[in-house]
């Protein structure tokens, strides 16, 4: 598996779904030519929508996957107001409308911004666990 470095703040859904799966304990990642599969809690899962709901693991887009992580990790989500001033929302681009915060013991809060609440939350979660740069399979790094 060829791995590449990706900035979490710029990671697309596929790369970030992979990183969340790693954070959650996913193992045995394998690309079968169609999608990425892996083992999580003794069950085979896929990093792609369109499969049986029990198999799909897409926490950046599926609330049934990302919601429990947000709740368990007590990730705070804030809607970024339109016309915000840059000094108040320094880590946000014009495309971002959500800010997520994860409070880590003995560290400052980890913040991430994104256009959707799930994407912002999963970026913050991965940053808190793995840092600002992650290693993902090259096939996933180029996907949106």
Q: Report pLDDT digits (tens) over 40-64.
A: 999 999 998 788 888 999 999 999 9
Number of domains in the chain: 1
pLDDT digits (tens, 9 = 90+) for 69-102: 999 999 999 988 766 644 555 555 556 689 999 9
**What is the spatial distance between Cα 3 and Cα 70, in angstroms, rounded to a whole number?**
27
pTM of the model: 0.88
**What's 36's domain CATH number?**
3.30.2120.10
Which residue range(s) make up the domain with 102?
3-141
pLDDT beyond 90 at 18: yes
pLDDT beyond 70 at 10: yes
Mean pLDDT of 112-137: 95
20 neighbors 72 (Cβ within 8 angstroms): no
Q: Please state whether 124 falls in left (phi above 0), alpha (psi between -120 and 50) or beta.
A: alpha
**What is the spatial distance between Cα 90 and Cα 125, in angstroms, rounded to a whole number?**
19
pLDDT beyond 60 at 34: yes
At 50 the pLDDT is: 80
């Amino acid at each position: 598996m060829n791995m590449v470095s990706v900035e979490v703040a710029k990671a697309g859904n596929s790369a970030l779904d992979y990183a969340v799966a790693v954070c959650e304990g996913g193992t045995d990642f394998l690309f079968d030519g169609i999608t990425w599969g892996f083992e999580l809690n003794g069950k085979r899962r896929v990093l792609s929508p369109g499969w049986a709901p029990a198999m799909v693991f897409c926490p950046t887009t599926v609330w049934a996957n990302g919601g429990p992580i947000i709740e368990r990790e007590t990730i705070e989500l804030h809607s970024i107001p339109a016309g915000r001033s840059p000094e108040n929302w320094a880590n946000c681009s014009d495309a971002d409308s959500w800010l997520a915060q994860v409070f880590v013991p003995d560290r400052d809060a980890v913040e991430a911004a994104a256009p959707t609440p799930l994407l912002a939350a999963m970026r913050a979660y991965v940053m808190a666990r793995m840092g600002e740069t992650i290693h993902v399979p090259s096939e996933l790094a180029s996907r949106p």
